[in-house]
Structure 1
Amino acid sequence: MSASSAHPGISARSYRTAIQETTLVAAAVFALVGILGFIPGITTRYSELAFAGADSGAMLFGIFQVSVLHNIVHLLFGAVGLLMARTVAQSKYFLIGGGVVYLVIWLYGLFIDQAGAANFIPVNTADNWLHLSLGVVMIALGLLLGRGTVSERRTM
């Protein structure tokens, strides 16, 4: 059943599934966070914003350690999500794949010395908890909302 027949009066081009809407929201939030990381006041200790590394003292919302590189990664992640939200399959891959990426970043943040050179992103304890939460939620949403949308259609 096509999107237009499932939803009379809505063209297939304008209809978005729940997983596509979720991907759009997630992507918009990532992009917004990337922008907010460059705004003094929202990012405290803005004068300490470094390109990368643990020496960046800037804190988004006064909680999450950020750098120019960290903000750019959020902007790029948001842009990729906005592009991938165009199809159901890509939305599923973005949520699950992005969730896996965030779990890897969480593990990275757990095992590095936060004051050392390896903390080039940079991350702090608050970032680690956020990355764990994002990873779990994104994977869960990708699996739950993506059920029956991609792989099951291929086998029919």
Structure 2
Amino acid sequence: MASKFAKVLGIIFIILGIVGFFMPMENIFDLTVAHNIVHLLSGIIALAVSSNEAKSAMYAKVFGIVYLLVAVIGLFVTEIAGLVLLPADNVLHFIIAFASIYVGFASPAGKAQRKVA
């Protein structure tokens, strides 16, 4: 479950990162160069861990928590380290965060990690 999620998310983020350089979507999302680089790195890391279920579950947990923090911060500020956060960005960040956290903790590998700890 987590491996498939990481693979799909990785592909989506890499596509978004590349497309963002050529087709800025400033009306909905303000994709700066920094934003595109974050998307590319997120996608590359997701694909790198997608062959291992336990690593994918851990990635989903960490990634989900980081995106949740970005979404919450985005409610109060409109820019973080060169990343412009519009309302549509915040909604998308919340969706990604909750989906990632769910997959990370609900996947069999995520449950096994909790039992070991």
DSSP 3-state at the match of 1:66: coil
Q: Structure 1 128/150 Cα, relative in aligned 2: closer, same or farther at 3 Å?
A: same
Give the TM-score taking structure 1 as reference length.
Answer: 0.67
Indicate the structure (1 or 2) with the bigger Cα radius of gyration. 1
Which residue in 1 is equivalent to 2:28? 63
After the TM superposition, which segments of 4 or more aligned residues of structure 1 sit over 4 Å from their partners? 152-155
* Structure 1 runs not aligned, ≥5 long: 1-17, 45-58
2:96 aligned to 125, 131, 134, which one? 134
Contact 1:99–1:134 (8 Å) recurs in 2 = yes
Contact 1:88–1:150 (8 Å) recurs in 2 = no
1:26 pairs with 2:9: yes
Which residue in 2 is equivalent to 1:102? 67
Which deviations, in whole Å up to 9, do the C-alpha atoms of 1:50-79 show, x marking residues without a partner?
xxxxxxxxx2xx411110010000000000
2:87 aligned to 104, 107, 125, which one? 125
Q: Structure 1 101/153 Cα, relative in aligned 2: closer, same or farther at 3 Å?
A: closer
Contact 1:102–1:134 (8 Å) recurs in 2 = yes
Give the TM-score taking structure 2 as reference length.
Answer: 0.87
Aligned length: 117
DSSP 3-state at the match of 2:54: helix
Identity of aligned residues (%): 30
Q: Given residue 133 of structure 1, which amino acid in structure 2 is its aligned partner?
A: I
Cα-Cα RMSD: 2.2
- Mapped to 2, the partners of 1:75 and 1:148 lie a distance apart of 25
Contact 1:33–1:74 (8 Å) recurs in 2 = yes
Answer 1 or 2: higher relative contact order, Cα 8 Å, separation at least 6: 2
